[in-house]
Amino acid sequence: MKYIEEFNDPALAQRLLDDIHATVTRPWAMMEVCGGQTHSIIRHGIDQLLPEGVELIHGPGCPVCVTPLEMIDKALAIASLPDVIFCSFGDMLRVPGTDRDLFRVKSAGGDVRVVYSPLDAVEIARQNPERQVVFFGIGFETTAPANVMAVHQARQRGLRNFSLLVSHVRVPPAIEAIMTSPDCRVQAFLAAGHVCSVMGLAEYPELAERHKVPIVVTGFEPLDILEGIRRTVHQLERGEHRVDNAYPRAVRDEGNPAALRMLAEVFETTDRAWRGIGIIPDSGWRLSEAYREFDAEYRFQVMDISTEESPLCRSGDVLQGLIKPRECAAFGTTCTPRTPLGATMVSSEGACAAYYLYRRLEPAAAARTPEEATPVV
C-alpha cells in the first residue's frame, strides 16, 4: 500500500483496518514511543478499533514527562534568582517540582517568560545585557537542533549572559532500556517520525536485530498511525524484525545532515535520569566542553540538587508502559490537571493528560470487528 498522502480519507482508514483485522491471528503488544502519537491514538479511538488482543503500550515519548524532578527543581532554583530572566516553553510552567512549579515562582516575583523558540531567549539576552537569561532546553532529538543553534548564536554574538539548562534525552537508549527490563512486554515499536527526521535511521537496525523486534517509523495523523500498525502486524505475523520507514514524506535514512553536524559540535552524550524511570546510560545530551560556559547548571552551581518522587504518583510505571493511566489509584482523584502529582498529567503529550482529556476513565470496552468500527477520520 502506498504511503499516506491524503489524511481525510475514511475509505482508506477502513481498508487499513480491514487489512489489520485480516492479518492478525494472535495477540501482539506494540509500543508507540511518542506522546504525540499517544494523544492521536486516544483522541481518535484507534486502540479501540484494533483486533482483540492487539495492545498499544504507551511509551516514554513525552519530553516534558520524562524531565527528571531534580532538573525541575534546578530550574525553579535558577528562576527564583533576582537577576535571572528564565525562559521556557509554556508546557513546562505547570510541571510540578518538589514543592512548587514555575507559575508559582512567577507569581512570587520571578521573571519567568514563555517563549516560542530558544532564539527568542537569545534575543532577550541581547536586549538585557545586565541580566542573566536562561532557556530551559528539554526534549528529545526533535528540539535539540534549535537549542544547539541558540547556544551557537549566543557565542557568535558574544552574549555571555545567555545559558542553557539542558535536559535532552535520546530515543534509542530508551528502547534499549525498555527491551532489557525484566517486565518488558513490548514486541514491536512505532518509532517517532519527527525524531527520525532529524537523526535518521542509523541507530535502529541494530536494536531491531538484537532484540528481534520490528521498528516501524510512523507519523502522527490517524492514517499514519494505522499504516504503521498495519506494517507492524505484518512483520510480527511473519516473524520479521526489520526497520521500516512508513513516514517517507518527512524521514530520510540519513536524517538531517546539517542538524547532525551542529549537534555533534555543541552536544556530547551523557547518562541521563528520566523522571519515574531512573538513569539510562548514554541516553542524554549535555553541552560539550567547548560550550560548557553556556551550561546553566555550571554557571549557577545547581549540580548537586537531588530529590525524591511522590510515592503516590505512578507516572514512572506509565512511562515504561507497565500500566495504563487509569490503573493508578491517584488518577482522576488526587491527581488531576488542576492538582497534578506528575508531569504526565499536565504535559500536552502526557498519557495521563490524554486519558483524562478524552475521558478514558473506565476499563476499555471490548474490541470491535471492522464492520462495527467507525473510521477514525
- The ranges assigned to domains in the chain are 21-63+185-245
Listed residue (314, 324, 323, 319) closest to 358, CA to CA: 324
pTM above 0.75, yes or no: yes
- What is the mean pLDDT for each group of 10 consecutive residues in the chain (377 residues)? 59 95 97 93 95 94 87 95 96 88 95 97 98 96 96 96 96 95 94 96 98 97 96 98 97 97 96 86 96 96 76 83 90 87 83 90 49 42
Q: Which three cell numbers stand for residue 218?
A: 510512523
Return all residues near 167 (Cβ < 8 A) that are at least 6 apart: 67, 68, 71, 136, 137, 138, 272, 284
Q: What are phi and psi of 140, to 5 degrees?
A: -90, -165
C-alpha 128/C-alpha 130 separation (Å) is 5
Among 332, 371, 376, 329, which residue's Cα sits nearest to residue 355? 332
Report how far residue 30's alpha carbon sits from residue 49's, in angstroms, rounded to the nearest whole number.
15
The set of long-range contacts for 99-103, using a CB threshold of 8 Å and a minimum separation of 24, is 100/76, 101/72, 101/76, 102/75, 102/76
Cα separation, 316 vs 274, in Å, equals 9
pLDDT at residue number 6: 55
Contact 48, 364 (CB under 8 A): yes
The third-level CATH classification (topology) of the domain covering 21-63+185-245 is Rossmann fold (3.40.50)
* 3-state SS, one letter per residue, for 176-188: HHHHCCCCCCCCE
pLDDT for 7 equals 60
Tell me the Cα Rg of the chain. 21
In this prediction, residue 373 carries a pLDDT of 42
d(CA 270, CA 166): 11
Which amino acid belongs to residue 214? P
Identity of residue 145:
P
Q: For residue 114, give the 3-state DSSP assignment.
A: strand
